[in-house]
Amino acid sequence: QLATNNFCEENILGRGGFGEVFKGNLDVKTVVAVKKLQVYHARSKDEFENEVKLITHIHHRNLLRLLGWSSEGSDLLLVLEYMPNGSLDQFLWGAKSGTLDWNQRYEIIFGIARGLAHLHNEFHVKIIHRDIKSSNILLTDDFKPKIADFGLARFQPEDQSHVNTKFAGTLGYTAPEYALQGHLSDKVDTYSFGVVVLEIISGRRSTEVNRSSSDYLLEHAWKLYEKKIHKKCIDETLDSKQYEQEHVMNIIEIALLCTQSPVSKRPTM
Ligand code: ADP
Ligand code: MG
Ligand code: MG
Tell me the CA–centroid distance for residue 181 and ligand 3, in Å. 22
Arithmetic mean of pLDDT, 105-112: 87
Of the chain, the percentage scoring pLDDT greater than 90 comes to: 27
Can you give the pLDDT at residue 75?
Answer: 81
Distances in Å between the Cα of 222 and the Cα atoms of 174, 229, 252 are: 20, 10, 12
Arithmetic mean of pLDDT, 75-88: 94
Query: Distance between CA 233 and CA 255 in Å, rounded?
Result: 15
The residue whose CB lies within 8 Å of the most ligand 1 atoms, and thus the one to mutate among 66, 79, 130, 149, is 149
- Sign of the dihedral defined by the CA atoms of residues 259, 178, 117, 147, in that order: positive
Q: Quick one: pLDDT band at residue 89, thresholds 50, 70, 90? A: very high
Q: Is 252 in the pocket of ligand 1 (CB under 6 A)?
A: no
Tell me the CA–centroid distance for residue 214 and ligand 2, in Å. 26
> Which ligand 1 atom sits closest to the C-alpha of 16?
3
Can you give the pLDDT at residue 259?
Answer: 52
Arithmetic mean of pLDDT, 98-117: 87
Arithmetic mean of pLDDT, 159-170: 64
Q: Kindly tell me if the per-residue pLDDT of 77 is higher than 80.
A: yes
Ion ligand 2 — residues with CB < 5 Å: 16, 136, 149
Query: Counting beta carbons within 10 angstroms of the beta carbon of residue 51, is it exposed (0 to 12), middle (13 to 18) or buried (19 or more)?
Result: buried
Tell me the CA–centroid distance for residue 67 and ligand 1, in Å. 15
Query: Counting beta carbons within 10 angstroms of the beta carbon of residue 2, is it exposed (0 to 12), middle (13 to 18) or buried (19 or more)?
Result: middle
Query: Counting beta carbons within 10 angstroms of the beta carbon of residue 125, is it exposed (0 to 12), middle (13 to 18) or buried (19 or more)?
Result: exposed
Q: Is 147 in the pocket of ligand 1 (CB under 6 A)?
A: no
Of the chain, the percentage scoring pLDDT greater than 70 comes to: 70
Query: Distance between CA 17 and CA 111 in Å, rounded?
Result: 26
Q: What is the DSSP string of 174-242?
A: S-HHHHHH---STHHHHHHHHHHHHHHHH---HHHHHHHT-HHHHHHHHHHIIIIIIHHHHHHTTSTTH
Arithmetic mean of pLDDT, 91-102: 89
Can you give the pLDDT at residue 222?
Answer: 53
Active-site residue flag, 75: no
Q: Quick one: pLDDT band at residue 134, thresholds 50, 70, 90? A: very high
Can you give the pLDDT at residue 216?
Answer: 47
Q: Kindly tell me if the per-residue pLDDT of 209 is higher than 70.
A: no
Can you give the pLDDT at residue 153?
Answer: 92
Can you give the pLDDT at residue 262?
Answer: 38
Q: Quick one: pLDDT band at residue 87, thresholds 50, 70, 90? A: very high
Q: What is the DSSP string of 61-98?
A: TTBPPEEEEE--TTEEEEEEE--TT-BTHHHHTSTTTT
Which has more pLDDT, 112 or 235?
Answer: 112
Q: Is 148 in the pocket of ligand 1 (CB under 6 A)?
A: yes
Q: Which of 131, 149, 186, 189 is catalytic?
A: 131
| Segment among 14-28, 104-118, 160-174 with least mean pLDDT | 160-174
Our measurement of the distance from residue 194's CA atom to the centroid of its chain's CA atoms, rounded to an integer in Å, reads 11
Q: Kindly tell me if the per-residue pLDDT of 68 is higher than 70.
A: yes
Q: Is 199 in the pocket of ligand 1 (CB under 6 A)?
A: no
Instruction: Look over the chain and give the mean of its residue pLDDT values, rounded to a whole number.
Output: 77
Q: Return the amino acid letter for 245.
A: Q
> Which ligand 1 atom sits closest to the C-alpha of 151?
2
Q: Kindly tell me if the per-residue pLDDT of 268 is higher than 60.
A: no
Q: Is 110 in the pocket of ligand 1 (CB under 6 A)?
A: no
Residue 199: name the closest of 269, 123, 136, 152 by CA: 136
Q: What is the DSSP string of 107-143?
A: HHHHHHHHHHHHHHHSSSS-EE-S--SGGGEEE-TT-
Q: Is 86 in the pocket of ligand 1 (CB under 6 A)?
A: yes
187-206-218 Cα angle (round to 5):
85
Q: Is 80 in the pocket of ligand 1 (CB under 6 A)?
A: yes
Which has more pLDDT, 269 or 21?
Answer: 21
Query: Distance between CA 41 and CA 18 in Å, rounded?
Result: 7
Can you give the pLDDT at residue 265?
Answer: 39
Q: Quick one: pLDDT band at residue 217, thresholds 50, 70, 90? A: very low
Helix or strand run (H / E) with residue 42: helix 42-55
> Which ligand 1 atom sits closest to the C-alpha of 90?
16
Tell me the CA–centroid distance for residue 37 and ligand 3, in Å. 10
> Which residues lie across from 66 on neighbouring strands?
80
CB 13 within 8 A of CB 22: yes
Q: Which ligand is nearest to the CA of 21?
A: 1
ipTM > 0.95 for the complex: yes
Q: Kindly tell me if the per-residue pLDDT of 196 is higher than 70.
A: yes
